[in-house]
Amino acid sequence: MRRGPIAAAFRWVCDSSVYRSIVRHGVADTNRNRSLVVFENLFLHLHPVKVREKTLRFRHTYWLGGVALVCSLLLTATGVLLMFYYHPSVPQAYRDMKELQYVVDNGMFLRNLHRWAAHLMVFAAFLHMLRVFYHRAYRPPRQFNWVVGVVLLLVTLLLSYTGYLLPWDQLAFWGVSVGTNMAKEAPIIGEKIRFMLLGGNIVSENALLRFYVLHCVVLPVALLLLISVHIWRVRKDGGVQGPPEEPDDEEAP
Amino acid sequence: MSSIPPLDLIESRDPLATPRRVALVRPDIRPAVRRREERYVMTVPHLIVREVILVQVVVIGLAIAAFLFDAPLEGIANPLETPNPAKAPWYFLGLQELLHYFPPIVAGVLLPTLVVIALVVIPYARINLAAGPLWAGKGRGTALALGAAWGGLVVLFGAFACWPIVAPSLGIAGAMILARGGEKGGRLRRALARVTLPEWIMTWFVTIAVLLTLIGIFFRGPGWSFVWPWSAAPPG
């Protein structure tokens, strides 16, 4: 047990009745309290109380899903801050980019962080999928979580893609024009889907507003729900799976 | 035909004994159940500490990148002025590259749909569950079926002159042939011999996806013509 004034103050806070009304367990110094930290926390509850020691090794998962998750948290934080400075209208959207660059304190840093985190998230999610595949972690009982993961990858791509239009510069406009022209080619429903997505026949102010709502509300909520299901099911399906183990103590079939 | 053993043999009378679970599972399809006992550690602090470190590493790394490199911003959007080439974001450039070889309905709708369907059904396809090494215990039949399937693919994509698909297909086919009977070969061949069919197919798909994307990002200039990366303006 540590001594000294800071440790004593820490203990005093942790033992106070106000703190204990919020967090019911004491300091996490016994296995019982360590378990309660997980049991009694909505977010940590996605974890099991105990994990297999082996799964903590770096080469087991390379932490790729974790990297994607951290990116999504960072993107939420920077995204909310960016929303304070952004109007989804033409031409104010583009002017806001310039404002971020020249007027807003650390505005450029904020936008950079959001952009690079978005790229990393797409990249990490893709690598995470490959890692899971080559470790054959999609096999029972994890089949459905693989499907959830595929949907998550698609949502990630859509999030990145809807965000791509928001700066309303040439890069954004033509990048999105190229993509939505592809959607047009789908038989029968293609034109209608494109019209619905863009709110018109070309990428316009309506498209900017629709992409903004999708990017800031609809898709993040979908992502949050799916990530929760995804991580919770990892726990329910027996924890993360690393490299498949040879059944070395099995009899040959 | 065995009768149930007396109760005290199944159920220990020792109140402190840990009950042991007995289950009959197929080892090839239930990865969650293992015969060996494993060491467990508490989530707090072992996992949580690592997660906190992960958050810090990612955030610090991205913050450094954000200090060093500025996000691109071009002139204000102008529907009347089409840049040449107009490129989608990098993760869609593989698809855009496909547009160069196939009619739009194939490149923009059919192939992406097929890829998504293929990804979703992976855990439900028997071939992916009971995956053993490609050639293990298989004879001429497998070789002929695979050869026909692969040859058909190469001819199909060759007809569209889609060499970024044809070249990796031939490369993977070569590696698969090299893997045949590779158990007695050198290190590379022994490693190849252990690769399963689903792994061959995924490796084939990923190689093509990466190749198409890289070509789309770095080797495409005005009118989607082939350019060297150093001769064109860097991609945005």
Chain segment B62-92, per-residue pLDDT in tens = 999 999 999 999 999 999 998 888 888 999 9
What range defines the domain where residue B66 resides?
40-70
Residue of B nearest to A91 (CA): B76
Residue B29 confidence (pLDDT): 55
**Can you give the pTM of this predicted structure?**
0.88
Query: Is residue B13's pLDDT more than 80?
Result: no
Count chain A–chain B contacts defined by CB atoms under 8 A.
215
Residue B8 resides in a domain: no
Mark whether B169 and B109 lie in a shared domain.
yes
Query: Residue A250 — very low, low, confident or very high, per pLDDT cuts 50/70/90?
Result: very low
Query: Is residue B7's pLDDT more than 60?
Result: no
Mark whether B62 and B155 lie in a shared domain.
no
Mark whether B152 and B225 lie in a shared domain.
yes
Query: Is residue B129's pLDDT more than 60?
Result: yes
- Reduced 3-state DSSP string for chain A: CCCCHHHHHHHHHHHCHHHHHHCCCCCCCCHHHHHHHHHCCCCHHHCCCEEEHHHHCHHHHCCHHHHHHHHHHHHHHHHHHHHCCCCCCCCHHHHHHHHHHHCCCCHHHHHHHHHHHHHHHHHHHHHHHHHHHHCCCCCCCCHHHHHHHHHHHHHHHHHHHHHHHCCCEHHHHHHHHHHHHHHCCCCCCHHHHHHHHHCCCCCCHHHHHHHHHHHHHHHHHHHHHHHHHHHHHHHHCCCCCCCCCCCCCCCCC
Residue B101 resides in a domain: yes
What range defines the domain where residue A232 resides?
70-236
Residue B123 resides in a domain: yes
Residue B231 confidence (pLDDT): 77
Mean pLDDT value across residues A131-138 = 93
Contacts of A35 (CB under 8 A, 6+ apart): A49, B42, B44
Residue B23 resides in a domain: no
Residue B236 confidence (pLDDT): 46
Arithmetic mean of pLDDT over chain A: 90
The lowest-confidence range among A29-43, B2-16, B31-45 is B2-16
Mean pLDDT value across residues A79-101 = 96
Which residue would you say has higher pLDDT here, B66 or B194?
Answer: B66
Verify whether the Cβ–Cβ distance A56 to B41 is below 8 Å.
yes
Residue of B nearest to A190 (CA): B109
Residue B27 resides in a domain: no
Mark whether B124 and B171 lie in a shared domain.
yes
Q: Of B54, B65, B82, which is closest to A174 when you measure between CB atoms?
A: B82
Question: Left if phi > 0, otherwise alpha if psi is -120 to 50, otherwise beta: which for B23?
Answer: beta
Query: Residue B28 — very low, low, confident or very high, per pLDDT cuts 50/70/90?
Result: low
CATH number at residue A103: 1.20.810.10
Query: Is residue A245's pLDDT more than 90?
Result: no
Query: Residue B11 — very low, low, confident or very high, per pLDDT cuts 50/70/90?
Result: low
Mark whether B225 and B171 lie in a shared domain.
yes
Mark whether B56 and B153 lie in a shared domain.
no
Chain B residues close to A244, C-beta within 8 Å: 31
Per the structure, the count of domains in chain A is 1
Per the structure, the count of domains in chain B is 2
Query: Is residue A79's pLDDT more than 80?
Result: yes
Mark whether B167 and B216 lie in a shared domain.
yes
Residue A26 resides in a domain: no
Taking chain B, what is the end-to-end CA distance rounded to the nearest angstrom? 73
Which residue would you say has higher pLDDT here, A126 or B230?
Answer: A126
Which residues 76-105 of A are in CB contact (within 8 Å) with B? 90-91, 94, 97, 101
Mark whether B154 and B52 lie in a shared domain.
no
Residue A251 resides in a domain: no
Mark whether B182 and B65 lie in a shared domain.
no
Residue B33 resides in a domain: no
Mark whether B130 and B66 lie in a shared domain.
no
Residue A109 resides in a domain: yes
Mark whether B65 and B122 lie in a shared domain.
no
Q: What ipTM does this complex have?
A: 0.90
**pLDDT tens digits for range A15-31:** 889 988 888 887 777 88
Token pair recorded at residue B91: 């993760």
Query: Is residue B31's pLDDT more than 70?
Result: no
Which residues 174-213 of A are in CB contact (within 8 Å) with B? 174-175, 177-179, 181-183, 185-187, 190, 202-203
Residue A155 resides in a domain: yes
Verify whether the Cβ–Cβ distance A52 to B119 is below 8 Å.
no
Query: Is residue A251's pLDDT more than 50?
Result: no
Mark whether B192 and B148 lie in a shared domain.
yes
Mean pLDDT value across residues A97-113 = 96
Query: Is residue A146's pLDDT more than 90?
Result: yes
Residue B206 resides in a domain: yes
Query: Residue B33 — very low, low, confident or very high, per pLDDT cuts 50/70/90?
Result: low
Does residue B51 belong to the interface with chain A, where contact is any CB pair within 8 Å?
A: yes
Residue B82 resides in a domain: no
Residue A15 confidence (pLDDT): 85
